[in-house]
Amino acid sequence: MFEEIQVSEPIGLEAYESEVHLYADVAALRAEATRLVPKLRGRTVWMVNSTSQGGGVAEMMPKLVSLLVEVGVRCRWGVIRSDRAAFFPLTKRIHNMLHGQDGGTLDAHDRALFECVNHRNASDLGSMIAPGDILVVHDPQPLALGALLKKNHDITTIFRTHIGLEHETPITQQAWAFLKPYAETYDATVFTAEAYVPPFLAARATTIRPSIDPWSHKNRDLTPHKLMGVLCNAGLQRVTQPVLTPAFEHQAVRLGEGGDPLEDIGLFFRPIVTQVSRWDRLKGYHPLLLAFVELKRRLARGAIRLGDRHARRIELARLVLAGPDPSSIQDDPEAHDVLRSLTTSYAELSPELRNDIAIVTLPMQSRKENALIVNAVQRCSTVIVQNSLEEGFGLTATEAMWKRAAVLGTHAYGLRCQIRDGIDGLLTKNPEDPNEIADHLDALLADGHLRELMGNAAQRRVHAESLVFSQVAAWLRLFDAL
Ligand code: UDP
């Protein structure tokens, strides 16, 4: 049932240390490790979640585990398995309810199923853990496992949840009531933001921000040659010269019949406004599309003075709305509907507007290629938008900020936590108001100096608060505190 996952991450601290901007971060982590790791006295830290692939937790785990191991912690990672078909639909329901979405009622039958699957996994893991070990359970799926093991083993347990809503609702209360008997047995809980902590856990909750790996394929620096190569390999740039690397087996696809087939998007030449996200209504793609149309119409109406550089910039600007190929994500039926309604709105636009807007699906078969495409598209962008109506954190914003992009976020809680309005980027108050979004796009496109200042501030902020090194150090401090 329970399965241990082996981690092999090729890049270690010595490599990160060689980069001038990261040297101090690695040094700070090493110093914390020298101080704190001996105090663990050989205890094993177990990280447990529900999947080794897909989703932010699985994405973060290999680097987190490998860095903990590298600084001397005996850290192992495992995932729970289920042979009951109804288990993951149940935990998905709980997940949605913690985000405030309706998930029906949770009854005694659900509880029995939840405990049964957790119980089997707990028996497997129970034979591997030793007294004194530290068990970190990520998200609600394996939550009962920690509570069960705690009963019969002398271990320290930590519940780390990556989800939450900034205010309580009857729905979130119901989900927390279901989880409470397990959650309250834990020695500590870790949330992404203070606002997500339910009152009954307040006394033993801390916060650790999600973080990014600056050298992952999604975030690492790309030389112009590499960047152009990725765009060509992915089918996002017409190939006019021999390219070192072969075309990706699965290509990015521009949807709709609007784009002139002879013309590529011009990612390398034009001012580009981008949003890369999942096709989810809450990501606010549709109002963003309308805002971009409004911007172009302002130009056509003469509301933006023709002849100057800014008018020319808006004339040339293109909008790229990108997200994963929905056929590759079975558990997200909503993605098809969101994408369909977006392409329907797009099809109703004039040919000129359609030419200036690209709705692109990105292949998901290779995580590396997908990450490189996201990286390349973000690096070609003059403005990166994350127009979320709600956002738990918004790693897309972190990734954009790290690349020193001018970022346009919203007042959604997760984005507000990251982007200081007017300093690291701009925030739209009402992400459903195309006029307000258009005003912000206009302001950012008009002022290159402002974009540069905000991009620099944004990168500094991610550097200070959201890199994986400080996350590892935060874990070490928490282990020590316990
Ligand atoms: N992402 C990706 N490929 C895509 C679209 C999104 O890799 O085609 C990534 C994106 O770069 C980010 C993550 O998916 O790392 C989304 O995380 P975020 O916190 O922004 O939102 P969530 O999807 O968790 O709501």
Instruction: Give the residue, by CA position, lying nearest to ligand 1 atom 7.
Output: 371
Give the distance (Å) from ligand 1 centre to CA of residue 55. Answer: 8
Three-state DSSP class for 87?
helix
Count CB atoms within 10 A of the CB of residue 423. Answer: 13
Q: Is 278 in the pocket of ligand 1 (CB under 6 A)?
A: yes
State which ligand 1 atom lies nearest to the alpha carbon of 218: 11
Q: Is 2 in the pocket of ligand 1 (CB under 6 A)?
A: no
Report the pLDDT value the prediction gives residue 421, as an integer from 0 to 100: 98
Tell me the mean pLDDT in the region 327-337: 73
Report the pLDDT value the prediction gives residue 374, as an integer from 0 to 100: 97
Instruction: Give the residue, by CA position, lying nearest to ligand 1 atom 10.
Output: 396
Tell me the mean pLDDT in the region 296-317: 87
State which ligand 1 atom lies nearest to the alpha carbon of 325: 8
Give the distance (Å) from ligand 1 centre to CA of residue 396. Answer: 6
- State pLDDT tens for residues 200-232: 999 999 999 999 999 999 999 999 999 999 999
Give the distance (Å) from ligand 1 centre to CA of residue 395. Answer: 7
Give the distance (Å) from ligand 1 centre to CA of residue 368. Answer: 14
Q: Is 279 in the pocket of ligand 1 (CB under 6 A)?
A: no
Count CB atoms within 10 A of the CB of residue 211. Answer: 21
- State pLDDT tens for residues 256-291: 765 566 678 999 999 999 999 999 888 999 999 999
The rounded mean pLDDT for the chain is: 93
Instruction: Give the residue, by CA position, lying nearest to ligand 1 atom 11.
Output: 396
Report the pLDDT value the prediction gives residue 10, as an integer from 0 to 100: 86
- State pLDDT tens for residues 93-130: 998 899 888 989 999 999 999 999 999 999 999 999 99
Q: Is the pLDDT of residue 183 over 70?
A: yes
Percent residues over pLDDT 90 in the chain? 83
pTM above 0.85, yes or no: yes
Ramachandran quadrant class, 208 (left: phi over 0; alpha: psi -120 to 50; beta: rest)? beta
Of 267-271, 300-304, 461-465, the least confident = 300-304
Closest to 296 (Cα-Cα) out of 366, 357, 241: 357
Q: Is 323 in the pocket of ligand 1 (CB under 6 A)?
A: yes
Give the distance (Å) from ligand 1 centre to CA of residue 122. Answer: 31
DSSP per position, 347-408: HTS-HHHHHTEEEEEE--S-HHHHHHHHHHHHHT-SEEE---SS-S--HHHHHHHHTT-EEE
Report the pLDDT value the prediction gives residue 333, as an integer from 0 to 100: 66
- State pLDDT tens for residues 449-458: 999 999 999 9
Report the pLDDT value the prediction gives residue 289, as an integer from 0 to 100: 98
Three-state DSSP class for 105?
coil
Confidence of residue 1 (pLDDT cuts 50, 70, 90): confident
The more confident residue out of 303 and 132 is 132
Confidence of residue 141 (pLDDT cuts 50, 70, 90): very high
Q: Is 276 in the pocket of ligand 1 (CB under 6 A)?
A: yes
Three-state DSSP class for 103?
coil
Q: Is 270 in the pocket of ligand 1 (CB under 6 A)?
A: no
Mutate to test the pocket of ligand 1, among 196, 276, 279 (most ligand atoms within 8 A of CB): 276
Q: Is 362 in the pocket of ligand 1 (CB under 6 A)?
A: yes
Tell me the mean pLDDT in the region 247-251: 96
Report the pLDDT value the prediction gives residue 369, as an integer from 0 to 100: 96
Closest to 76 (Cα-Cα) out of 145, 2, 17, 144: 2
Q: Is 324 in the pocket of ligand 1 (CB under 6 A)?
A: yes
The more confident residue out of 163 and 106 is 106
Tell me the mean pLDDT in the region 145-150: 98
- State pLDDT tens for residues 374-411: 999 999 999 999 999 988 889 999 999 999 999 999 99
Report the pLDDT value the prediction gives residue 264, as an integer from 0 to 100: 86
Report the pLDDT value the prediction gives residue 258, as an integer from 0 to 100: 58
Tell me the mean pLDDT in the region 167-193: 96
Helices (H), strands (E): how many in the chain? 18, 14
Q: Which two tokens stand for residue 98?
A: 């913690």
Give the distance (Å) from ligand 1 centre to CA of residue 322. Answer: 11
Residue 323 vs residues 14, 261, 278, 290, 450: alpha-carbon distances, Å? 34, 21, 5, 18, 28
The three-state (H, E, C) secondary structure of 449-474, written as one string: HHHHHHHHHHHHHHHHHCEHHHHHHH
CA 48 to CA 418: how far, in whole Å? 27
Q: Is 56 in the pocket of ligand 1 (CB under 6 A)?
A: yes
Give the distance (Å) from ligand 1 centre to CA of residue 212. Answer: 12
Q: Which amino acid is at 355?
A: N
Instruction: Give the residue, by CA position, lying nearest to ligand 1 atom 23.
Output: 278
Report the pLDDT value the prediction gives residue 381, as an integer from 0 to 100: 98
Give the distance (Å) from ligand 1 centre to CA of residue 336. Answer: 16
User: In what helix (H) or strand (E) does residue 273 lie, and over which residues does it extend?
Assistant: strand 272-276
State which ligand 1 atom lies nearest to the alpha carbon of 59: 15
State which ligand 1 atom lies nearest to the alpha carbon of 55: 24
Report the pLDDT value the prediction gives residue 306, as an integer from 0 to 100: 59
Report the pLDDT value the prediction gives residue 304, as an integer from 0 to 100: 76
Closest to 281 (Cα-Cα) out of 93, 432, 450: 432
State which ligand 1 atom lies nearest to the alpha carbon of 282: 25
